[in-house]
Structure 1
């Protein structure tokens, strides 16, 4: 998606440790017009797939998933990183590790929001090591639902997450795949 690649080149900041900071348009301040175009693109890429729900993880994936959901005409469910008093009933859970935060979480979803047989599309902002996506897949499987696909805004193609998911037979559609980054020159190389 050229519009996204241009925005990453213009406003992305590369930090040491293979961190791509895009907080001024993607995961802190959100550019809704860009999100709208990404939502349309996810719909175009998954036009051949039945989608009953979209699943994401808090917090950065929520905005993207919500905008995309309007094109699929389905609800969004998001996995929570912390237990709270307003969560009740049976829970589905999976462990994940955040590449950016270098922290492990047990993410949870109330089982009533994912029904057996539903086709669930995962949408998230980044794909690095694949832990978040694998955790969400585990939750979908626990619900006896099916993974319809995985939509990613930015995939770090030089890390193993995308390859790992694809080797498991999962359909992964990434709007921008970064093959390399250099913090010193602030340059990003994209896969065509």
Structure 2
């Protein structure tokens, strides 16, 4: 998606060789007009799939998932990283190692909101090593729901997550695929 790639070039900041900060427009301060275009593109890519629910993980994917859900006309469900008094009892759970935070989380979703009849689209801001997506995939499979695929804003194609998820037979649609990046040479996108 040229619009997203252009925005990454303009406002993204590369730290080292593996951190891409896009907090100016994607995952801290959010450009809702850009999100609207991202949601429309996900809707175009997954058109005709009869999606009934969008699932993401707390917290950076929530904004994007909400706007995409408006385009599809379906609810958003997000996996929580911490059990709360509000979510007690019957839950699906999976473990996720966070690249950003360097720790392992138990993610949870109430069984009330993820049902076997659901057709689920996963949405997230980044795909790097694939841990978050694998955790979400595990939740969908545990629920017996149908996994339609994953919509990713930015995929670090030089890291193994995208290949790993695709080898699991999951359709992954990434709007911007980063081939390489460094502070010295900037960002190169896949063709």
Q: TM-score range by the shorter chain?
A: over 0.9
Asked whether 1:32 is paired with 2:35, we answer: no
Separation in structure 1 between the aligned mates of residue 84 and residue 183 of structure 2, nearest angstrom = 39
TM-score, normalised relative to structure 1: 0.97
Shift of 1:3: 0.4
Provide Cα deviations, 1:113-157, integer angstroms capped at 9, x if missing partner: 001121100000000001100100000011110111100000000
Asked whether 1:164 is paired with 2:164, we answer: yes
| Counterpart for residue 78 of structure 1 | 78
Aligned to 1:29, the other structure's residue is in SS state coil
Asked whether 1:190 is paired with 2:189, we answer: yes
Aligned to 2:61, the other structure's residue is in SS state helix
Asked whether 1:96 is paired with 2:110, we answer: no
Separation in structure 2 between the aligned mates of residue 89 and residue 98 of structure 1, nearest angstrom = 25
Unaligned runs of 5+ in 1: none
Separation in structure 2 between the aligned mates of residue 134 and residue 50 of structure 1, nearest angstrom = 22
TM-score, normalised relative to structure 2: 0.98
Separation in structure 1 between the aligned mates of residue 121 and residue 11 of structure 2, nearest angstrom = 28
Shift of 1:88: 2.1
Shift of 1:17: 4.5
Runs of 4+ in 1 over 4 A off after TM superposition: none
Shift of 1:49: 1.3
Query: RMSD value over aligned CA atoms?
Result: 0.8
| Counterpart for residue 127 of structure 1 | 127
